[in-house]
């Protein structure tokens, strides 16, 4: 059993979601006005400074997208989210 770090997600604007994990923050450009919200690994680009240089592995991207999907669909009740991870 693997323990995943705690994370926190907030929707900052209609075009941006903020993902925080431990002391790192990442912004995902998601337009919530779109009829369908597609989640794929192109959304997971980089951590904000001072962690901007850290590489994000494919497994990390998948975990982050899973957490975002869980937040949007299960916690916030979005019904128009499609995930590809």
Please give the average pLDDT of every successive group of 10 residues along the chain, which has 85 residues: 71 93 94 95 96 95 96 95 91
Contact 15, 77 (CB under 8 A): no
| pLDDT computed for residue 80 by the predictor | 96
Cα 6 from chain centroid (whole Å): 13
Angle ∠(80,11,16) on CA atoms, nearest 5: 85
The pTM for the full model equals: 0.89
The helix, strand and coil proportions of the chain, stated in percent and rounded to the nearest 5, come to 20, 30, 50
Distances (CA, A) of 56 to 23, 74, 76: 15, 25, 26
């Amino acid at each position: 059993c693997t323990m995943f770090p705690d994370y926190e997600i907030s929707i900052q604007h209609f075009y941006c979601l903020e993902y925080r994990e431990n002391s790192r923050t990442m912004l995902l450009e998601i337009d919530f006005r779109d009829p369908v919200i597609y989640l794929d690994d192109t959304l997971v680009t980089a951590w904000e400074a001072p962690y901007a240089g850290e590489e994000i592995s494919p497994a990390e991207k998948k975990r982050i997208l899973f957490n975002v999907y869980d937040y949007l669909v299960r916690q916030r009740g979005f019904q128009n989210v499609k995930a590809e991870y």
